Amino acid sequence: MFGRILKKDLKRKKTMNVILLLFVILSSMFAAAAVNNINAVTGGVEHFFNEAGVKDVIVSAPYDSDLDTEIAAFPSTRSIAIEHQLTVLESTSFRYKGKKLSNFTNTSKLITADEMPIRYFDSDNNVITGVEKGGFYSNGVFTTDLDVSIGDEFEITLGNTVKTLKYLGHFKGALFGNQQADFAFLLLNDEDFKDYEKESASRIWADKVIHVETDDVQAVEDYVDGMNNVSVSTREDKKGIYVFDMISAYLMMIISILLMITGFVMLRFSIAFTITEDFREIGVMKAVGISNGAIRRLYIIKYLAISAVGALIGFFCSIPLSDSMLKTVSENMVLGSENGIMLGLISCAAVILLIVLFCYLCTRRVNKLSPIDAVRNGQTGERFRKRSIMHLGHSKLPTTGFLAANDVLSAPKQFSVMTVLFTLCLIMVTMISNFCESLQDDSLSTTFGAVKSHISLSGIYPELFLDPDAPDRLIAETEQMLRDNGMPGKAFMSFGAGYDVCYNGKKHKAVIQAAKGSSPEDFTYLEGTAPLKDDEVALTGYLMDYLGCGIGDTVTFEVNGEMRSFIITGRVSSFVGDGYSGRFHSGFRQDLSKINNTSGIQIRFDGDPSKEQIEANVEKLREVLDTDKVMTNTDVVRSVTGMYDTLMASKRMMMLLTAIVTALIVILIERSFISKEKSEIALMKAMGVPNGRIIGQHTLRFVIVAVTACIVSSLVILPSAVGC
């Protein structure tokens, strides 16, 4: 008998059951994807480092240095691996389809497959064991904005050596950055590498990178401390490379969790409504003597069947969804989720248990119903609540508006659930939209060392490393060039050097920047004031917290071979140096041997040019300078973070999913309303109320809920929007 009842119920309520099945599929899909992504993201970098075999300490030394032999002699050293890196200073040294490249801003590095101190992976996450002669792999920086396919040929010039090499595909290196402003790495066959190695030009800024596996990291750090042209990083330090990749991954993880919660709330709502709709059937079953427990088991079995089918479909759908959510991150990393299939199955099983639990809790009303109550659709005709706060006689609202508002106020619990559902959907879209808009904010460029300006001329300026007067000369030449081309303006140049900043026995590596041509008001100081003298410096809160110092304290570090003291005058905000950074005053003469980054030349045009005029100036400068490395500040932020395209793709996907989920919610809820309110609708029609007003009343209820959800979601998201 129960089987026949279930079969008829499933056929009679096809639309409701199909919508409910879709929500089970969505909930299961996002639950499995979210759990899998949480597992992959939280251990993402660590997993990648383990797979790649990243060592405890990475030391960068001059190309012909014997430092590796010295470190190998340490009792604590377990193993050492060497990688020689040749440097190609300009992207224009590469030609593709007859054109010089200008798609990346930093220098590029040539490495050989015969060394590979850690494991490198191809785009399919297979370990690269070698490179064929005449071919090369590259990281994503090299092919940024290029429509390149495997087998395409590039002409690579270094000194007097010119070779045409075949592109073999993208490769992933755990210690290589992947934003446009990072180094481009090319993995070559050893014969091709040695041909370039013979060129003296290849030794400019060439490095010997020493990968050390040791029981005493501090011993290595202490040994190389103070050595010229030598830098050291620990395994933990290197994880900062992936900060922007992980931000994207965590954002997708948060959104998937919100979608999962939305699905669960909707399931609770729909199950309760479905059982409420079945009061008449429940009454008939109770009247013929079927027990409360048997009736409840009937519903539990029904939803168990729907949830089992939906969870199974959702599990298989979660696999491509999870891959899609982490697609961009996985392009740069080897992400792994151990026991991913098992976690997905457990997540789907949890969804089934939750649905059965919802059903069990919702069917408790069956125990309280008598056959007469059930026949009356759960209504006794008595009202024990206080009267509504709205009165038709006193209201200035039209009848349709009054009825809609009164319905919402008369069933606050029911419409509150709807408001929560719409709020969650709006928060998902608003959150990712705010991130996208933040990455187009010009002012964000100052957190990467740039001066407040209109545009930037990105690129590497070798003079900075050789001549202390080079910044002033480059600024003067740039300003003259602007005047000659009818777009006068002021030029600035910001560059940083790496120092070991010390305070009370604690020490940390930091990048301290100086911006030539700038004024104190060109940067924002969160606390204190800008440094104005040679013995003053402003530091990030991140660095001050680590060292345990504050504004007014004195820190020390070596500049040009001399230990000097600096008074901390203010606190700045910066992403440079993974947050461990600071700022000198504009006239400070940096230690040339320690310079390690530059944000290029910033330009602020005279007057207050419009956005259109700035864009026109950018195009003109690209023609004058014959380069694409003339960028607006928005382009600079996109280049440095590498997040914008990822977030825009995610935004489009989330908007589509949210639209589908919202449509399903509206359809399911409205069908439930119509089914529940048949008698009220019939009475209104009998009184002569036209169909349009009834439809308007039902529509206005959703409008009220939607407006309320907009207000609530705005209040929830406002703090993060202000922070961005």
Tens of pLDDT, residue by residue over 40-77, are 766 778 888 999 999 999 999 888 889 999 999 999 99
Q: Each residue of 246-297: pLDDT tens digit?
A: 776 677 667 767 766 776 777 677 666 666 666 667 777 777 777 888 878 8
Tokens of 673: 């309303």
Give the per-residue pLDDT at 145.
78
Element of type H or E holding 39:
helix 14-42
Q: What are phi and psi of 692, to 5 degrees?
A: -60, -40
Q: Is the pLDDT of residue 79 over 50?
A: yes
With contact defined as beta carbons under 8 Å apart, do 580 and 528 qualify? no
> Beta strands 581-583 and 506-516: pairing type?
parallel
Tokens of 299: 């519903």
* Domain extents in the chain: 1-37+246-382, 66-229, 395-436+657-718, 444-642
Give the per-residue pLDDT at 339.
63
Q: What are phi and psi of 439, to 5 degrees?
A: -75, 0
Q: What are phi and psi of 90, to 5 degrees?
A: -120, 145
With contact defined as beta carbons under 8 Å apart, do 28 and 315 qualify? yes
Q: Across residues 107-128, what is the average pLDDT?
A: 92
Ranges 27-31, 185-189, 621-625, most confident: 185-189
Q: How far apart are CA 171 and CA 123, in angstroms?
A: 6
Print burial letters for 469-481: b (CB count within 10 Å at least 16), e (below 16).
ebbeebbeebbeb
Q: Each residue of 565-594: pLDDT tens digit?
A: 999 999 988 878 778 889 998 888 887 777
Amino acid code (one letter) for 642: G
User: How many CB atoms are closer than 10 A to CB 147?
Assistant: 8
pTM of the model as a whole: 0.68
Give the per-residue pLDDT at 166.
95
User: How many CB atoms are closer than 10 A to CB 699?
Assistant: 13
Q: How far apart are CA 320 and CA 213, in angstroms?
A: 38
Give the per-residue pLDDT at 417.
79
Q: How far apart are CA 243 and CA 643, in angstroms?
A: 11
Q: What are phi and psi of 153, to 5 degrees?
A: -110, 140
Give the per-residue pLDDT at 81.
94
In a 13 Å sphere around the CA of 27, the CA atoms on its Cβ side amount to 29
Nearest to 173 by CA among 149, 144, 137: 137
